[in-house]
Each structure stands twice: as C-alpha cells, then as structure tokens.
Structure 1
C-alpha cells in the first residue's frame, strides 16, 4: 500500500495576510508578520499554510485582481520576504501553499493594457472581446457574480470585454494557447521558489462554452449554496465548467508531477458545485486532475444531524476510489463558524473537522472561536457587499484582524495605528495570549486535537465508519486493530448514546476538556454541544 503523503496526513491553515499580523506599522498585515508568527503555527500543530494573495494589485477585490502574477505587492513585502517565509516554514516542517488566480487579471495588468490598446494587438485574443449584437444589445446575457452584467464597454476599441467578477477583473481566454503557456509559466515561477502547492481560485470558471451562447433562465432562482441576487436568475451552464476544463487540469497536474520528484506538490481547487458527481469529476477519471476540489458543503449545511451526515455520506458515496476527501468550515468568503453555529457549538465543529477522513482546512482565528465583526457602513471595504446589497454577501465581517493579545489593537498592529478593518469588541477576552493561559480554551482544545490527530494514524488516514444516531454525529475511525469512536452531540440538550455493540473505551478528549474516563458505550452521556473522542478497548 502506498504511504500517505503530507497533504493527506496534514492539516492546512489559511492565512489572509492583510489580517494576520502587521509588521511595519501601516495597519495592514504582511509577509514579515507571517514570518513573526511561524513559531505560533508550529506550536499550534498545523502542517501547511495557505497564504491568500500577496501579489501586486490595485486592491479593488483585495488581491484577487492581480496586476503582476510573479511579484509581491510592496504592501505585503518583497520577494526576498517571501523566500524567507518559505525557508522559515520549511525549517519548521510547515508546507507553503499559495493562491493561483487563473480566471482573470486586473484591468491594470500589462497583458490587459496591451489587449485593450487596439483590435489588432497580438494580445487581443488573450481576453474575451466581442461586438455588440446587430440590434445594439450585449454579446450575450451572462451576468457577473458581483452584480450587474458580465460585459463592459470599451469606448476606444468599440467592443465589450467579459468579466465574470468585477469589471476591473477581465476574464482570460484559456482557449488561447499563449494564455495557457503564460499562466503555466506563472506556476513554474512559484514552484521554482519552492512552494508546495496551489489553491486554485474560482478555477471552474476558466473554460466557457466556445461560442459564448446565452445562459437559459433559472425557473426557481435557486442559486446553490447561497442566494446571489440577480446572478441566480440564470442557469450557469455556458459561462463555467465546460467539459474542456478537464484537459487543462490534466496538464496542470502533469506540471505539478514534474516538480514532485523530491517532495510531493499539491493542488486544491475552489469549486462551488452542488452536483456531487460533477464535483467528484475534477479529481479526474484516472485521479490525474486536481488532488482535491474543495468540499464547501459543511459551510452551508444546517447544524443538525441529518444535514451534516448527508454531507459526509454524499462525499463518501461520490468520491472516486483512491481519491482523498477534504472538509472546510470557514474561509475568507463565508461567515465564521462561531457566528454561523454559535460560539458554544464551535468546539464541537472543530472536533468534527479534525476527526473526519480527509484533509481539513482551518481558517485563521477559528482556533480561537473568533466571530464575525459587524462593520459600520462607512468602514465597509468589500465590493461584493456594496454591489449586491441586501443579501449579506459582504465579506468584511470574517476578514477582521487576528487577535493576538489584549493590548490595544489586539497585538495585530501598533496601538496608535488604525487597522484596515475594525477589531472585534471582545478581543481582550478572545485572543491567543489569554487562551494560552486557559487550559479549557478553544485554542487549547484545537492544539490537543491537532496533536492527537498527528500522533494517531487512525484519525488522520484511517478508515471511516458511520454509526447511525438520531441526535448525535457518531462515527468510527480505524487503522488495523486500532479503533476510535467520535461522538458529537449537536443539540442543546444532554443526550445518551446507546451503542453497546462498540463495547467500552477511554475518553481521550472531550470538547469540554474536563473528562478522560473509561466509559461503556451502552450509555454514553453527552452534554449539550459536547463531543468526545474515545479510544475503543473492547
């Protein structure tokens, strides 16, 4: 049997660099701030960091509108800082994953500036330029995820260009081989700087139907994971996820494989898709495409047994044989887990994330139970929330600065410097320094869970076995004769789990961090929102 590699055994920790640690006094986090906190990350027990975009950008979409794919924005530091970050992380046995944003560039990128300069510019076809229809209407009916139509008029060349997101983010034409070659050179640039993998942003958008036909109307206006306003009025069958994307993914995987002779390189794709079969197809028919497409389903499932169990069952049913699953509870685009399910349930959610079969991703601050922060209108930054008002799509609340200590500005930046987003009013209580002194804190629970997971093959790469129950999520993890049971009460009431066929065992960790006794599983008492990891002995 092939030995599991680091991205199967390990835990990924997402860092949103603007909000992690400011090292130079401008109120914005940066790469040197991440370097300063590498020891914290090592002691936490994670195995890889995913660093969200730090590339040069006008910051219209806070780094996802990139004007240079192979440099570092001075706001975040220098390439030398990045190299030092990678070296320091590797010295602590932490891998480094970076964002790769393949669907679009900034409208300030040199490629787009050339492309829009004239209709006969050699880079014209690097983007999607189209005439208006004979009746003067738009080239088609496609809509932007961020509100309004997906076409922007260029007065100089008298054509429209396509933008799936903001008008400042024109879409690249991946059917042009020059675009693909240039973007693969971007990957090589960062691989040569020793990154361990890529998180592929919005990657299912890169291949559209070659004829750009109208999308059909959506009779239900149902969006999928969450309401997106007018974008939901169409079925997005032609503006994303064309079948030709699989060929691109296979070439991408081959490139990563060519760099994996010394140590395995890794890819995980941001793919929002409710069709489990189509989602699973991005592993590749021969497991030769993405190492993993992100599984976002937990972030949108109600906190109740049937819904959560359905996510696990669907994944286990549809994932191809030999493929590796993953789970995520939070990121820079969705409300924090402690706000979605309640702070009292957050410890159970963390236990669930770190004990299921598959690679977990932790969002910075979730190890503390950080919550969303209400941002006053005059301080809001995110264009999505501004452009599509009334749907709660603004992402500022989950992007607020990391809370390091109880000092002014939570140790994120100097006390006399305003941070780029307001801090949570509870930072004096919810912060790293305070929780390190509390043996029953969320941070200490997370550290214990990570340490147990790392030390226990059954919990990081072992088999998964569902144990049906009405009010609790119960499942087994097994590696040979080493058997474990995880039982999590998702309700507000104490409950008794009766599974006598599992015998007895030792509670190794409770989310309450106050019990480690032997228990018989014919009557396991779980308090409200309590989870237990039990090492089975019979």
Structure 2
C-alpha cells in the first residue's frame, strides 16, 4: 500500500529501446496548428439541457441562461443538436425548414442572442446539418410527392411501381426494416434509409446540392463557426439500385457508406463553403476503411477537417468489452492519422448511452473514479475531443425498466417489431437499458430541487433517480468531483500543446486492465496511466528512472510536489485510477 501511495506522486519512465531514437522524429507543437485541432467540443442536446418556460422541453433561452456555466468548463466549441423547424419524429433530425427555428426551442432572435452570447465568451458554435434526408413534411418532399412530373420529383429517390418492387434496402428506423415506402398518390416507392418520415435526398441532383450550399451560407453568414454533417457518409447512392447480397444488412455500412461521388460532392462543398468561411467541418461516419476516413480529411483533397469514426463507441456491449480491442482500435486510428488528417475522439453523444455506464462503472462506489478516468482518456489523446453534456458530472444511464419510459420513436418501433416477429422482448428491454439512445437524453442535472432544476413543469422524459447526488450544485461544492476534475483536465490540455499535437505511443500493449501511453513532442513528454477495471492492476514498464511529476490524478486530493525516488518496474494502480505524469 505504501508503495502504491508513493507511486501516485512519483514515477518516471525511460522508454524501451525501440523508442530510443524517437526524439529526432517527434512532431513540433507548432506544426499545422489549427483552432479546430486544439478545440474541446462540448455537445449540447437542447431538448434536455435547460427549460426556461416550464413546458418540460429544453430551449435556447435555457442554454443562454447557463452560458456562464459552459464558459466555466473551459470548452472552446459547442456542438448544438438540430433546432430547426421539424415535426420532431426523430427529435429534430427530420427537418421541415432549414431556415426556421422550432417554436418549442424559441425564435430566430433567441438564436441570435445565443450566438452573440457564446461569441462574447469566446465560445464557438457548430450547427448540426441534417442533409442526408429531410422530413416528409418539408416543402421539397411534398412537391416531389405531388406528381411524377413535378420539378422537385428528382430531389428524392423514387422507384415507379410498374417496374416491380425495388431491390431490398435495409432501413435503420423502419418498423419493418424496409427502406422503400410505397406511395399511392404516384404509384411509386421512395427511399428512406432511416424512418419513412425521413426520405433520403437525391445528392446526384445538382439542384439539391445547391440548395444545401445555400442553407449553409445562410447559417455561415449569421456567424456560426462550423457544421457537423449528420449521416453524411450515406448521401451518395448508386441510383441504379443493384441487388445486394442476402444478409447485407448485418454489415450495411459496407454497402451504404462512402459510395458513388461522395468525395466529389465534398470537394464541391469545400469550394463553395468551407474555403470561404473559417468554419470547422466534420461528417458523421468515416466509411469502412482507414483509406475512406483519410480521404475525407486529407488536407490535400480539400474536403473536411475532422473524421468521426464509430469503431470505438461500437465496442461497448451489455456483457462488457475487451480493453485489448479498445486499445487496438484507438491505436490503429491514431497510427493511420499520425502524419496527416485529423480525428474526433469521443465515447458518447446523443445517439449513445451514457459514457460511464458503457465504458466505466456506474455503481456508486466506482462512478466518480471511472468517469474521471474516461475523461482523462478523452482529453489526453491526439485528436479533437467531443464531450457530451452531462458527462462532466458523471451522469449515468437512468436504468429504465419499462418500454413506457422511452420516448425515442425508433426504440418504440423496434419494440413493436420484436413483438410482431416473436422476438425476445425481455432481452430487448435489457439491451435498451444498457444502450438505448434515450439513456443519454435524460435531462441535465442542475441541482437537487424538483426535476433536477431542469424544468418547473413536466419533463418530456424521465429524470434520472440519482439527480439529488449527481448534479452541478453538489459537485461545485466537492473539490474532488467529476466536474472539478474535468475543468482541471481541460486546463491541462490547453496549457500543454503536447497533448494536442504530440506523438502517441502505446505501452504495455498486452495488459488487459491498463491503458498506458506516451504523448510527446519537442516541448515535452507525458505518460498517461489508466486502469479500466474495478480491480487493482499493475502497469509494467521495461525500465524506470528517477524524476517525474504527477500533474493530475483522480485519487489525489492535494497539489502534487515532485519528489525524486527510485522505483521498480511495476506500477500498481487502484480501481479506475488515472494519472497524467510529466516526464
């Protein structure tokens, strides 16, 4: 135990022989500097952040009222989920007017006030742009649906019924998993990779692309600072719609992602928009291969800034995940982007359950340390960290037990599908409790008052039962809370460009409990030690030497004073312990 306590304060590592010559190859901290590489992105789900008028739904004025809190986190960018006019079938990802604000969220004047308030505080705003599909209530689709001869017909993908039933396409959201919806008005089918209320736009039509560019200009001219392109890896299709192999839906991204002329469309978008505004650009999804992802963000190709890949977050399962696989995935992605291109690093978003419930441990005795450990990972890796609102508090899954607790229509339809096909409903509910999207959408927990201070009315979705102990007010008064630790991490990253641009080297690769790596460049060197398990663990290093400073650790309650000591080559770590060590 004594050795473990000392080791928290003191450690130094001499990297093994294979890295002995690495110093001459280390990147300089000023190489290819960009604001969006150095930024820490904080994602706000507006429906669940703060309600200003008591209707139970978060809104723009609610966000405005908490801009000082957001500023206090030290983040640089807010990514705002869709706030456009929408029938709200998919919580705003079914847009009926891209230039209007959904009244539930407020007005355009509220948006202007929000943007100005962010900019006054030095915070940039990235908008979610949903242009793989629109709502079926969008004017374009209503005109497209009106007749086969309408000028808007080719804004969407139609298949005339006299040609027979179209080749099967899998839908992610449809109750029957069928992506073709029959329309009696024109005796034809339209394509929808998601819900039948979200018809896919036809990007092969240049008029559609120009419509999108005009929408982007509208928001860029307002002064926003970037776009996150929702489901964009799916926009290009082979419009001959060939038959896919039986069972393709088990690996549908192989057939749906990065098809056709998607790179041509992005290069055109870059020429029309990104080259003319200083905006950050990131597309949801990174294709099927490292080459796919690289082609999106290689600066010589003039497409996007940041690749957003799902391999890491897809690893979490109800029965656990392998840390060896986790390390392998993130190390491979880093290696693929070591010399060019740039990545997003994330473990949660609005489409995922809570980070600590999926990748850490949300039991009360482990929640704080495991949440802090995961945050340490996100803010010490190379890439732009994307951090989901509430994770800075260690918010957890609500552990819903009934289908009536859920509001996500996709989940409700999948439940009906399981019932209709004789599936295991109880197994589905268990899986939903772990991984459903609504787990990450419960209201932000501000204080211990009614409804966690989110609303004075009836919340649109249930409040997590642990809100009286997990909330901003409680954590502000606890110097060892997740919230205070997150702020320290943010400042550590901001004060040390090495953690942004430095070389990444995986250590103790075969260790099934510990994720250890170096971040280093000409300006400095850091060792990061993370115990991903609920048990004591040991980090093994080939050689150790003297002189090290622990600059941040989640078990440490007082400032660190460097002390020189000779250590053995094994470093004990307590459950979910995290340390950032300057070498």
Could you tell me how far apart the structure 2 residues matched to 1:317 and 1:278 are?
15
The answer to whether structure 1 residue 339 and structure 2 residue 357 are counterparts is: yes
Secondary structure at the residue paired with 1:351?
Answer: helix
What is the aligned counterpart of 1:250 among 267, 277, 289?
267
Could you tell me how far apart the structure 2 residues matched to 1:520 and 1:59 are?
61
What is the aligned counterpart of 2:327 among 297, 304, 309?
309
Shift of 1:281: 2.6
Could you tell me how far apart the structure 2 residues matched to 1:83 and 1:503 are?
55
Maintained 8 Å contact 1:20/1:402? yes
Shift of 1:513: 3.3
Shift of 1:508: 1.2
What is the aligned counterpart of 1:387 among 402, 413, 437?
413
Shift of 1:284: 4.2
Could you tell me how far apart the structure 1 residues matched to 2:529 and 2:470 are?
27
In the other structure, the counterpart of 1:432 is 472
Maintained 8 Å contact 2:392/2:483? yes
Moved more, 518-527 or 65-74: 518-527
Moved more, 462-471 or 333-342: 462-471
Could you tell me how far apart the structure 1 residues matched to 2:495 and 2:335 are?
28
The answer to whether structure 1 residue 511 and structure 2 residue 558 are counterparts is: no
TM-score, normalisation: structure 2: 0.85
Secondary structure at the residue paired with 1:116?
Answer: helix
Cα displacement string for residues 4-24 of structure 1 (whole angstroms, at most 9, x for unaligned residues)? 122111100000000000011
The answer to whether structure 1 residue 125 and structure 2 residue 148 are counterparts is: no
Shift of 1:93: 0.9
The answer to whether structure 1 residue 164 and structure 2 residue 182 are counterparts is: no
Shift of 1:187: 0.5
Which fold has the larger relative contact order, with Cα–Cα distance below 8 Å and residues 6 or more apart in sequence? 2
Could you tell me how far apart the structure 1 residues matched to 2:133 and 2:274 are?
25
Could you tell me how far apart the structure 1 residues matched to 2:51 and 2:536 are?
43
Secondary structure at the residue paired with 1:71?
Answer: strand
Could you tell me how far apart the structure 1 residues matched to 2:396 and 2:342 are?
30
In the other structure, the counterpart of 2:170 is 143
Q: 1:502 to 1:184 in 2, by over 3 A?
A: farther
Maintained 8 Å contact 2:503/2:519? yes
In the other structure, the counterpart of 2:380 is 355
Shift of 1:512: 2.0
Could you tell me how far apart the structure 1 residues matched to 2:481 and 2:255 are?
48
Q: 1:498 to 1:321 in 2, by over 3 A?
A: closer
Moved more, 183-192 or 300-309: 300-309
Cα displacement string for residues 114-155 of structure 1 (whole angstroms, at most 9, x for unaligned residues)? 111111101011111111254x4x211112111321111111
Maintained 8 Å contact 1:296/1:327? no
In the other structure, the counterpart of 1:531 is 578
Shift of 1:502: 5.8
Maintained 8 Å contact 1:298/1:329? yes
Shift of 1:300: 2.6
Secondary structure at the residue paired with 1:300?
Answer: helix
Give the unaligned 5+ runs of structure 1.
222-230
Maintained 8 Å contact 2:373/2:577? yes
Cα displacement string for residues 194-251 of structure 1 (whole angstroms, at most 9, x for unaligned residues)? 1100111000111011311122123xx7xxxxxxxxx42x745554421410001112
Q: What's the C-alpha RMSD, in Å, of the aligned pairs? A: 2.0
Could you tell me how far apart the structure 1 residues matched to 2:529 and 2:99 are?
46
Could you tell me how far apart the structure 2 residues matched to 1:305 and 1:181 are?
45
Could you tell me how far apart the structure 2 residues matched to 1:236 and 1:106 are?
22
Aligned positions, number: 517
Maintained 8 Å contact 1:46/1:450? yes
In the other structure, the counterpart of 2:137 is 108
- Which structure carries more helix by proportion? 2
Maintained 8 Å contact 2:445/2:452? yes
Cα displacement string for residues 42-100 of structure 1 (whole angstroms, at most 9, x for unaligned residues)? 11111100000000000011100000011111110111111111111111111100000
Give the unaligned 5+ runs of structure 2.
1-29, 416-427
Maintained 8 Å contact 1:143/1:149? yes
What is the aligned counterpart of 1:373 among 377, 392, 398?
398
Could you tell me how far apart the structure 1 residues matched to 2:78 and 2:202 are?
30
In the other structure, the counterpart of 2:17 is none
Secondary structure at the residue paired with 1:82?
Answer: helix
Maintained 8 Å contact 1:213/1:238? no
Maintained 8 Å contact 2:353/2:436? no
In the other structure, the counterpart of 1:466 is 506
Moved more, 64-73 or 494-503: 494-503
Maintained 8 Å contact 1:246/1:284? no
Shift of 1:493: 2.7
Maintained 8 Å contact 1:305/1:490? yes
In the other structure, the counterpart of 2:43 is 14
Secondary structure at the residue paired with 2:212?
Answer: helix
Moved more, 151-160 or 55-64: 151-160
TM-score, normalisation: structure 1: 0.92
Cα displacement string for residues 452-495 of structure 1 (whole angstroms, at most 9, x for unaligned residues)? 11111112222222223424211112231422111111233323
